[in-house]
Amino acid sequence: MSLAWIGLGANLGDAVTTVRTAIAALDGLPGTQLRQASRLYATPAWGNEDQPPFVNAVAAVETTLAAGDLLQAMLALEQQFGRVRDPAVHWGPRALDLDLLLYGEQVLDEPGLQVPHPYLHERAFVLVPLAEIAPDLAIPGHGRVQDAVVRVDACGIAPIG
């Protein structure tokens, strides 16, 4: 079993319900069990700011799936929630976005798969929920989550409920 950390986000439709349902659905992936999830956070849009705010969270799962297989299962889950990937639209609105942030202590750089996620240490919308549930977690090459989160601008990020 490997411990993997997954970032979740949505800003179309009922994003709160989508993210909550997606967290539960991670537990249903083959060979995968949900171990922990952060609270949901309201976050301003990032990259392309001309869109609705996001709902974000982070979940930890234990899985027997290899990193690439877990990523493929996550992409299939996105599609089940109505995600349509348009290569012409970068950082656009989405029904559901799932990112493989960390996979054990592995560092992977393969076509279509980079672990740790290449922007993990720069994105407050992922670091804030990750710091809530795993502040001492190491981001290979970037130190602990609790140290990375203080280096980013978390203005406008607030827990929901």
Catalytic residue among 35, 39, 99, 144: 99
What backbone phi and psi angles, to 5 degrees, belong to 23? -60, -45
39 classed as catalytic: no
Write the DSSP string, 63-120.
ESS-HHHHHHHHHHHHHHTT----TT-SS---S-EEEEEEETT--EEETTEEES-TTG
83 classed as catalytic: yes
Catalytic residue among 97, 123, 136, 153: 97
97 classed as catalytic: yes
Catalytic residue among 83, 85, 86, 144: 83
69 classed as catalytic: no
Give the residue numbers annotated as catalytic, written as ranges. 83, 94, 97, 99
